[in-house]
């Protein structure tokens, strides 16, 4: 009887450990060359284990030589590069964020090409820290697939700009919130950064003879993404015709009205919706104001460790906060822009808040 009891305890323990996997609901993507040193290897995951042409959200984890997940690391300055021999180019990239409550970071790329297209190969470089050690992954090779049949998730306009629909697999029949990004190619071989606001994206959905009313995606300062709502009336393939406007005066930047536009995305809308698993945590943490000249205040209900990152994932500051005691954080020396304040509470929960230095 005691033997059976011990076996049951072990089984329950194993099940609990398995359930706590930080990559639960994700699948590992095909990326080689991620060994940091003799003791650590990075692993890249996505919702379905695939990296596709267009928007692909990535989750980055670190494992030690025993295969255990490591928490004390950072990643930053991701640089994807398509090498076609005489010609090379990068691609649109997103901000790097620490995933709340998980030993994971996330970012996204909007790959302009798939692996093997025109004989090209993707290479990926990024910087990291493990504890107090710094290093760089160079020449990792991600396998990028083409769009799923009939779909298109990224659209170039005005030579140097790219509009990407975010989470293209997640949309379902009914009222949906569309999210999108615009990135600018400044230098061909450097990552193409996000353009923070300044535009509106007018979307006209069409499926066969059905044309829905146009929806306008506007910049959400809190989420750092363009957002708008569309009520998809049926499942299946939809073409989303695009018109880009200047947010200040509604002047036409690119595209045209309705289905006359030469700019478009194409997505598959599902009956039930695949969705993307949320792996964010929540905790009673106050960060205020969200916009200032550089000084912010953090209040927590427990003692907490606080890290401050730029949007490349580089850690700028570390602090220790006492429960109930306001902690000032001064970012005025780092210049204007967006920063991430990551708070790890006494219970182990991690809460991330974005702030803006104006």
Going by C-beta distance under 8 Å and a sequence separation of 6 or more, which residues neighbour residue 258? 204, 211, 214, 241
Domain extents in the chain:
2-145, 154-269, 285-357
Name which of 3-12, 284-293, 326-335 the model is least confident about: 3-12
**What is the reported pLDDT for 12?**
40
pLDDT in tens, 232-258: 999 999 999 999 999 999 999 999 999
Q: Can you give the pLDDT at residue 266?
A: 97
Distance from C-alpha of 55 to C-alpha of 212, rounded to nearest angstrom: 24
pLDDT score at 274: 43
> Which class is domain 2-145?
mainly beta
If you average pLDDT over every residue of the chain, what do you get? 88
Mean pLDDT of 115-140: 96
Residue 275 has pLDDT above 50, yes or no: no
Most confident segment among 6-10, 24-28, 182-186: 182-186
- Give the mean pLDDT of 300-304: 86
Distance in angstroms (rounded) separating the CA atoms of residues 331 and 116: 44
Find the range with the poorest average confidence among 177-186, 229-238, 312-321: 312-321
pLDDT at 1: 53
Instruction: Return d(Cα 34, Cα 37) in angstroms, integer.
Output: 9
In terms of Cβ atoms closer than 10 Å to its own Cβ (0-12, 13-18, 19+), residue 216 is: middle
| pLDDT more than 70, % of the chain | 90
2-145 and 285-357, same CATH topology: yes
Q: What is the pLDDT of residue 142?
A: 97
pLDDT: which is higher, 300 or 206: 206
Q: Are strands 291-292 and 350-357 parallel, antiparallel or unpaired?
A: parallel
Going by pLDDT thresholds of 50, 70 and 90, the confidence category of residue 272 is low
16 vs 221 pLDDT, higher one: 221
Cβ neighbours of 331 (radius 10 Å):
22
Q: CATH code for 154-269?
A: 2.60.40.10
* Measured distance CA(290)–CA(174) in Å, rounded: 33
Residue 3 has pLDDT above 80, yes or no: no
Supply 289's token pair: 């104001």
Of the candidates 307, 299, 308, 351, the one whose C-alpha atom is nearest the C-alpha of residue 331 is: 308
Instruction: Enumerate residues 6+ apart whose C-beta is below 8 A from 52.
Output: 111, 114, 144, 145, 146, 147, 148, 153
| Average of per-residue pLDDT across 73-89 | 96
State the average pLDDT over residues 103-116. 96
CATH of domain 285-357: 2.60.40.1930
Q: Token pair of 19, please?
A: 């359930």
H-type helices in 69-134, by residue range? none
Q: Is 33 within 8 Å of 137 (Cβ atoms)?
A: yes
What pLDDT is stored for residue 284 in this prediction?
A: 60
């Amino acid at each position: 009887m005691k033997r059976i009891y011990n076996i049951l305890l072990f089984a329950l323990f194993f099940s609990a450990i398995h359930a706590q996997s930080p990559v639960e609901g994700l699948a590992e993507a095909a990326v080689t060359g991620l060994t940091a040193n003799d003791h650590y290897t990075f692993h890249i995951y996505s919702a379905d284990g695939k990296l596709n042409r267009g928007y692909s959200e990535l989750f980055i984890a670190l494992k030690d030589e025993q295969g255990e997940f490591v928490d004390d690391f950072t990643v930053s300055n991701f640089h994807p590069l398509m090498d076609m021999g005489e010609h090379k180019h990068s691609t649109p990239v997103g901000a790097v964020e620490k995933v709340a409550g998980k030993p994971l970071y996330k970012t996204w790329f909007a790959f302009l090409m798939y692996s093997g297209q025109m004989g090209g190969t993707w290479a990926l470089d990024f910087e990291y820290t493990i504890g107090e050690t710094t290093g760089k992954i160079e020449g990792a090779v991600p396998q990028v697939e083409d769009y799923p049949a009939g779909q298109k998730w990224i659209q170039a306009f005005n030579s140097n700009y790219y509009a990407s629909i975010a989470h293209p697999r997640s949309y379902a029949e009914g009222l949906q919130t569309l999210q999108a990004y615009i990135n600018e190619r400044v230098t061909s071989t450097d990552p193409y950064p996000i353009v923070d606001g300044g535009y509106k994206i007018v979307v006209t959905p069409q499926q066969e003879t059905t044309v829905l009313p146009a929806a306008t995606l506007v910049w959400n300062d809190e989420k750092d993404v363009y957002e708008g709502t569309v009520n998809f009336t049926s499942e299946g393939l939809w073409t989303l015709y695009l018109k880009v406007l200047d947010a200040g005066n509604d002047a036409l930047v690119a595209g045209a009205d309705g289905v006359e536009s030469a700019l478009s995305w194409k997505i598959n809308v599902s009956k039930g919706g695949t969705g993307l698993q949320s792996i964010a945590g929540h905790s009673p943490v106050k960060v205020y104001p969200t916009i200032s000249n550089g000084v912010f205040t953090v209040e927590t209900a427990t003692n907490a460790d606080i890290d401050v990152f730029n949007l490349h994932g580089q850690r700028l500051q570390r602090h220790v906060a006492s429960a109930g005691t306001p902690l000032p954080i001064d970012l005025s020396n780092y210049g204007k822009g967006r920063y991430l304040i990551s708070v790890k509470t006494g219970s182990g929960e991690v809460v991330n808040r974005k702030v803006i230095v104006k």
